[in-house]
């Protein structure tokens, strides 16, 4: 099945070298996501509800590191498992910016969604921004411009429509809460429905909620929140984690967004897992990490590090 992976990678390379095909793919995946949002029973506006019991491959920030993505797909025989519907992949966002193979990375990720729509979830990261919340640096539009000339600007426009359709929360019912940054901290004691809390009761979501979900980071020794040094979002404390887990009826938050030297870190007594799934500058973390979780295993969440793999 290495062949199926190689052919997907070859396809990604062909798409990259042809802006018309790239545009076609972006538009195709955008409308696939919009159809899912409107029609699929596992979608709740910007949220995805996933089966409680199953095997989950969870991949954190890639930022253009195609090699690490390929290595993970190969090592875990992911294409065969996708063909047999025996695994779900959840990407935690931040496919682009910073790395030297950004276009190929997001193209491969889009191809996975196109070929395995039911078993692939592409979450939104802060680097797939709404136009009101641009990250800095955001070099993806310039990478497109260098690659495709003036057509690159138009392509970026096409990509922004895709970004707006990416779901920003996934809930593995009874088990895991997945998002790029972290749970919202504001108004935390006045909401009693997770739909309102995560702005899954409306589309597009409320911008202040989306900002937190895409930008927040966990911090120890605070209860609720404190402004983030990033200039957007907040640092969230253990009481926010508790509340988010209670409201969504889950046990663990898995998120990306922060580099970690080991590729992962734990916060809030092991209830918040951060995954960082890329190598290279400007972070120079020694390892990249991802998770392969089987929620059919009894008390799988007790020893969370059991499920983390480093490369």
- Residues lying near Mn ion in the complex (CB under 5 A): 94, 125-126, 257
Instruction: Region of 269 please: left (phi>0), alpha (psi -120 to 50) or beta.
Output: left
**Which whole-number Å values give the CA distances from 290 to 58, 205, 243, 265, in the listed order?**
6, 28, 25, 11
Return the closest-CA partner of residue 148 out of 103, 182, 111, 185.
Answer: 103
Contact 63, 127 (CB under 8 A): yes
Q: Which residue number, 61 or 104, has a Cβ lying nearer to Mn ion?
A: 61
CB of 16 to Mn ion, least distance (A): 23
The answer to whether residue 127 is catalytic is: yes
Q: Give the CB-nearest residue to Mn ion.
A: 257
Active-site residue identified among 127, 257, 268, 301: 127
Torsion of CA 84, 263, 185, 189, to 10 degrees: 70
User: C-beta of 290: minimal distance to Mn ion in Å?
Assistant: 16
User: Is the Cβ of residue 89 or residue 232 nearer to Mn ion in the bound state?
Assistant: 232
- CB 214 to Mn ion: min, Å: 7
By beta-carbon proximity to Mn ion, the closer residue of 98 and 257 is 257
| Closest to Mn ion by CB, 47 or 125 | 125
| Minimum CB–partner distance for residue 127 and Mn ion (Å) | 6
Strand partners, 254: 178, 273
Q: Structure tokens of 243? A: 């509340």
Say how far apart CA 147 and CA 96 lie, in whole Å.
14
Active site residues: 127
């Amino acid at each position: 099945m290495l062949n199926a992976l190689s052919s997907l990678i070859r396809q990604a390379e062909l798409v990259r070298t042809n802006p018309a095909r790239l545009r076609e793919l972006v538009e195709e995946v955008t409308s696939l996501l919009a159809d899912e949002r409107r029609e699929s029973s596992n979608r709740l506006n910007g949220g995805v509800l996933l089966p409680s019991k199953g095997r989950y491959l969870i991949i954190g920030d890639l930022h253009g590191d195609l090699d690490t993505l390929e290595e993970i797909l190969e090592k875990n025989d992911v294409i065969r498992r996708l063909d047999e519907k025996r695994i779900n992949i959840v990407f935690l966002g931040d496919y682009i910016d910073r790395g030297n193979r950004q276009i190929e990375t997001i193209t491969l990720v889009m191809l996975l969604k196109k070929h395995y729509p039911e078993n692939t979830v592409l979450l939104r990261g802060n680097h797939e921004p709404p136009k009101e919340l641009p990250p800095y640096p955001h070099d993806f539009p310039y990478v497109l411009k260098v690659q495709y000339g003036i057509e690159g600007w138009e392509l970026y426009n096409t990509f922004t429509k895709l970004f707006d359709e990416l779901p920003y929360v996934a809930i593995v019912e009874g088990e895991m809460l997945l998002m790029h940054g972290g749970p919202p901290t504001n108004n935390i004691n006045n909401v009693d429905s997770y739909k309102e809390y995560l702005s899954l009761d409306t589309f597009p979501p409320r911008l202040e909620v989306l900002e937190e979900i895409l930008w927040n980071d966990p911090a120890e020794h605070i209860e609720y929140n404190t402004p983030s040094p990033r200039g957007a979002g907040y640092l969230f404390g253990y009481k926010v984690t508790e509340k988010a887990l209670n409201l969504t009826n889950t046990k663990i938050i898995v998120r990306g967004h922060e580099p970690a030297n080991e590729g992962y870190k734990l916060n809030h007594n092991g209830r918040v897992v951060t995954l960082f799934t890329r190598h290279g500058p400007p972070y120079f973390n020694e390892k990249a990490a991802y998770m392969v979780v089987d929620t059919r295993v009894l008390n799988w969440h007790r020893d969370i590090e059991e499920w983390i793999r480093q490369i």
